Amino acid sequence: MDTVSPKPTILDLILVDDEPAILDGLEKTYDWASYGFRVVGTAQSGERGLSLARSLNPDVVMTDIRMKKMDGLELIGRCREHDQTLEFVIVSAHEDFNYAQQACALGVFSYLLKPIDESQLGSVMIELHAHCMSWRNQRREIEQFRHFISEGKCELEELLLKKLLTKSIATPEFLRQLQVIDSQLSNADQYCVICLDVNMADRVLSGVDIDARRFVLTRPIIEELSATFAIRSFELSDGRVIVVVISEGDDSDSDGHVRNVLQKQRHKTKVGARTCASIVATSGRFLEGVPGMRESFDQALANFEYYLSVGADTNVVGSGMFDPPAQANVYPREQALQIIRGIRLNDHDLFARHLTGFGDAIAATDHLSRRICFQRLSADVCLYLMETVGIRTSDIERLARYSECVFKLSSDELAKVLAEILNDLILYRQEYQFSQTSDLYDSRINDVLLFIDMNLGEEGLAIRDAADHVCLNVAYFGRLFRNITGVSFNEHVSRKRIEAASELLNSTDLTVQEISDRVGMSSSSYFSTVFKKHAGMNPSDYRKNA
């Protein structure tokens, strides 16, 4: 089967000559399209030619030399001031060495004598077209390389900032590595650190949608901040988004601007057809240098711990709180971890002992603080145990209801009600028996893999749908899926969606938005982020390199 050669790119040409008859002949006599050009403008003077060149931005200007007021050589020089990439062909009736010498000095591509030999013109224009396309491709490659270097530098800076703020690298080594990558970050800049995530209750209930919800909620904040400041962002191991805002010099309005941006996100947002969680957004002050950045990070995290608990029930989002409330640091984390350990081990004595210790640790605080701590404990139990064997959907729902009602309970009821819920959970886990064979579960997972492939285009595809399909408890199904496939349900779905998207990018002319819709991801920006994470480049670049 014969292949059809792609049509050449048509380049723009301007013709300049002060003799109307010659100009008209130039425009209409020759088949410019066969050379790869189209005439986009004509001018009967150098001044008019200069105006057209500046307004139309052509690829090539073909001009006479001898014209009144502004001659062809002056026109070329003036055009060069505006656009160094513009190419020129001189058409002249004068075979003058001095003119030719000046034309060479100005970088003119060719010098043709009137009357024009059509075959010579065709040869010159075809060669010029190839030259222009080669230069255009080189410029595009240079821009892509510059973009790649710039983007790579930002990613390296974000990695170094993450290491610095999580205390994986010391300040001297951080500064040394910034110099190695020629970073513009300076120890003299002002830094403000922001911590972002969805609130606690919705972190528990979101399930497989949590990454998409987090992305859609945090993206507007990052985009609005980046319009005013230089920013770098990264995720902590638990998914929280950290944004480092950079301000050159001491700007007293910077703190207020950040506070205003965060306050805008207090309302609920839509993700597809679903109502999304509220965002918890807290920040530290703008402080100078690396020590100031670390202090701002500590301030943001301290505020975040408190507002994460408050936001889990009341939907109040704290932002711009630079001094942590007294309640922010009273949560007895070690006791909470031991309570969770007791549940995991089905050790009732360990659980009961540390639940009592948890209550004793906060007994001296005010009633509001105790409520917040017990609410946080119920959420932590959910987050830590959701993927373990022997936790039922009904257990998660009971803990969620407890979290919703905690501010209506008395001090005595706070511990009593939670103890009853967790005691029932331990009893169930003690009675839980694994009675199915591994072959049966392998076949169920194979059934699920087919179910995923058949429903990949459904935006609402969630782990609960897959678990219901094979009649398994959601929490246990998640653990089983990971054990058999080696990846989480969410990760597997993402990989399959990117595989399907890659095939569509290679084999169709569908837009990125159309492809993201087809693979069940209606947000094209989120789709591009996930695609780049898996493929190492964004969808548009992938299609170009395919």
For residues 234-260, give the mean pLDDT. 82
Give the range with max mean pLDDT: 5-19, 96-110, 316-330, 425-439.
5-19
**Greater pLDDT, 454 or 4:** 454
Residue 255's pLDDT is what?
81
Range of lowest pLDDT (102-116, 265-279, 482-496): 265-279
For residues 380-389, give the mean pLDDT. 69
Range of lowest pLDDT (206-215, 247-256, 514-523): 206-215
Residue 60's pLDDT is what?
95
The answer to whether the CB of 304 falls within 8 A of the CB of 195 is yes
**Greater pLDDT, 198 or 132:** 132
For residues 166-194, give the mean pLDDT. 86
Which alpha helices (DSSP H) does 406-473 contain, by range?
Answer: 411-431, 438-454, 463-469
In whole numbers, what is the pLDDT of the chain averaged over residues? 80
**Greater pLDDT, 317 or 334:** 334
**Greater pLDDT, 320 or 332:** 332
For residues 166-191, give the mean pLDDT. 85
Residue 304's pLDDT is what?
80
Distance CA 244, CA 241 (A): 10
Q: How long, in residues, is the chain? A: 546
Residue 121's pLDDT is what?
92
| CATH superfamily membership of 440-545 | Homeodomain-like (1.10.10.60)
pLDDT at 95 over 50: yes
The answer to whether the CB of 39 falls within 8 A of the CB of 10 is no
Summarised one tens digit per residue, pLDDT across range 344-366 is: 778 888 999 999 999 999 888 88
Burial status of residue 277 (CB atoms within 10 A of its CB: 0-12, 13-18, 19 or more): buried
Select the CATH number that applies to the domain covering 11-137 from these four: 3.90.1170.50, 3.40.50.12160, 3.40.50.2300, 3.40.50.300: 3.40.50.2300
Residue 202 Cα to chain centre, angstroms: 22
The answer to whether the CB of 45 falls within 8 A of the CB of 69 is yes
Domain spanning 186-323, CATH class? alpha beta
pLDDT at 153 over 80: no
Summarised one tens digit per residue, pLDDT across range 478-529 is: 777 877 777 888 888 888 898 889 989 888 888 888 898 888 887 778 888 8
ω into residue 115 within 30 of 0, thus cis? yes
Give the range with max mean pLDDT: 95-99, 359-363, 535-539.
359-363
Q: 3-state DSSP helix/strand/coil percent for the chain, to nearest 5?
A: 60, 10, 25
pLDDT at 418 over 50: yes
**Greater pLDDT, 6 or 420:** 420
For 21-47, b where at least 16 C-beta lie within 10 A, e where not — what string?
Answer: ebbeebeeebebeebbbebebbbbbbb
Residue 146's pLDDT is what?
59
Distance CA 330, CA 105 (A): 78
Residue 253's pLDDT is what?
80
pLDDT at 320 over 50: no
Residue 136's pLDDT is what?
85
Distance CA 12, CA 31 (A): 14
pLDDT at 254 over 70: yes
Range of lowest pLDDT (104-108, 419-423, 467-471): 467-471
Other Cβ atoms less than 10 A from the Cβ of 495: the count is 13
Measured CA distances, 406 to 343, 374, 389, 416, 426 (Å): 21, 8, 27, 12, 21
For residues 469-483, give the mean pLDDT. 73
For residues 387-395, give the mean pLDDT. 68
Q: How confident is the model at residue 273 (pLDDT cuts 50, 70, 90)?
A: very low
Residue 441's pLDDT is what?
55
pLDDT at 306 over 80: no
For residues 295-316, give the mean pLDDT. 66
Portion of the chain with pLDDT greater than 70, in percent: 81
pLDDT at 386 over 50: yes
Phi, psi of 227 (to 5 degrees): -75, -20
Each domain of the chain, given as residue ranges in start order, spans 11-137, 186-323, 330-431, 440-545
Helix (H, G, I), strand (E, B) or coil at 42: strand
Measured CA distances, 166 to 52, 159, 238, 419, 540 (Å): 57, 11, 13, 35, 34
Give the range with max mean pLDDT: 74-88, 134-148, 267-281.
74-88
The answer to whether the CB of 254 falls within 8 A of the CB of 189 is no
Residue 260's pLDDT is what?
82
State the pTM of this model. Answer: 0.48
